[in-house]
Each structure stands twice: as structure tokens, then as C-alpha cells.
Amino acid sequence: MTAAAEHVTRVVGAAVLDSATEPTRVLAAQRSYPESLRGLWEFPGGKQEPGESARGALLRECREELHVELELLEEVRAPQPQGWPLAGSAVMRVFTAVPTHGADTGLSAGEDHLAVRWLPLADPAAVLSLPWIPADLPIVAALLELLRPRVTP
């Protein structure tokens, strides 16, 4: 592993859907910190710890942040093999997921977020118009494209 690769911050995010087969909504979480990102929206998730798999980190982070157990589905393909570029040397891998106990059970904002909100996938303009963290916006667009064939109006 090169010195540059060792200093990459690996982040994981969940595009939580209300259904694996016929999704109608995706969950967005509103950041509470840092101040520069407060009030902006993102996919829930967080940092991948050394020795932790991306999927394992995502399940742990969503348990801690949203108080929910998820079933991870597919990865939203990034333009780079290591993930979506974020600020500095950070990269993020995003996976679609569904809550194991139903879309409307157990989800809460927790300490890391001001709020969580379900967004209608049938209205991509509404999803894209939310004030997302700038680095997440291309991921949101890729997610909408990935899900387009499955979304029922």
C-alpha cells in the first residue's frame, strides 16, 4: 500500500429506501455539525475504521446514528474504484439499503442529525432541490438514475 493510500479517509453512506423491489422514498439526514455543514442534507453513515469492512462500518454507523438495522443491497457505482471523492483525501462508498423491520419503524435522527426525512423518488427535482452537502449531490443524481427503472410513480 502506498503512503498516499494509507492517508485516505474512507467514509460510507446509506441510501435507505422504503422498499428493495419497488422503492418510492429515500431517506435523507440533516447534519447537525460541523457548523459549516449544519442544516445541509446527506446520506446517513460515517467513517470506516481501520480493519473494518465498508459494509460492516455502514451497518454500525446506521445502528448508532439512526437506531435502525439495515439490509444492504447494492453499491451506487462511483467514478473511481475507491469511491466518490469528498473534501481533501476522503472518499465515500454508498450502498442502497432497506430497514429490516420496515421503513417507518425505529428511524430517529439521533445526535448526529437535526432531522431525517423521507423524499419522494417519483419527484427527482424535489430530491435534487434539497440543500445537500455539495459532495453528495452527484451521488444523489447517480442514485436517482440507478433507481429510475424501479421507481413507481
Q: Which domains does the chain have, with CATH numbers?
A: 3-147 (3.90.79.10)
> Is the Cβ–Cβ distance between 11 and 91 less than 8 Å?
yes
Q: Helix or strand or coil: residue 70? A: strand
Please state the pTM of the whole predicted model. Answer: 0.90
Is the pLDDT higher at 90 or at 88?
90
Cα Rg for the chain, rounded, in angstroms? Answer: 15
Q: Helix or strand or coil: residue 126? A: helix
- What pLDDT, on a 0 to 100 scale, did the predictor assign at position 151? 81
- What pLDDT, on a 0 to 100 scale, did the predictor assign at position 1? 43
E strand spans, 19-107: 25-31, 41-42, 45-47, 70-76, 84-85, 90-99
Kindly list the distances between the CA atom of residue 124 and the CA atoms of 12, 24, 77, 135, 151, in Å, as whole numbers in the listed order.
23, 11, 19, 18, 10
- What pLDDT, on a 0 to 100 scale, did the predictor assign at position 2? 43
**In this structure, what is the dihedral angle of CA atoms 124, 127, 128, 130, given to the nearest 10 degrees?**
160
Out of 13-27, 58-72, 98-112, 114-128, least confident range: 98-112
pLDDT tens readout for residues 40-89:
999 999 999 999 999 999 999 999 988 899 999 999 999 999 999 998 88
- What pLDDT, on a 0 to 100 scale, did the predictor assign at position 103? 65
Is the pLDDT higher at 27 or at 110?
27
- As a whole number of angstroms, the distance between CA 136 and CA 150 comes to 22
pLDDT tens readout for residues 1-46:
444 455 799 999 999 999 999 999 999 999 998 999 999 999 999 9
Best CA proximity match to 61, nearest among 75, 44, 77, 78: 44
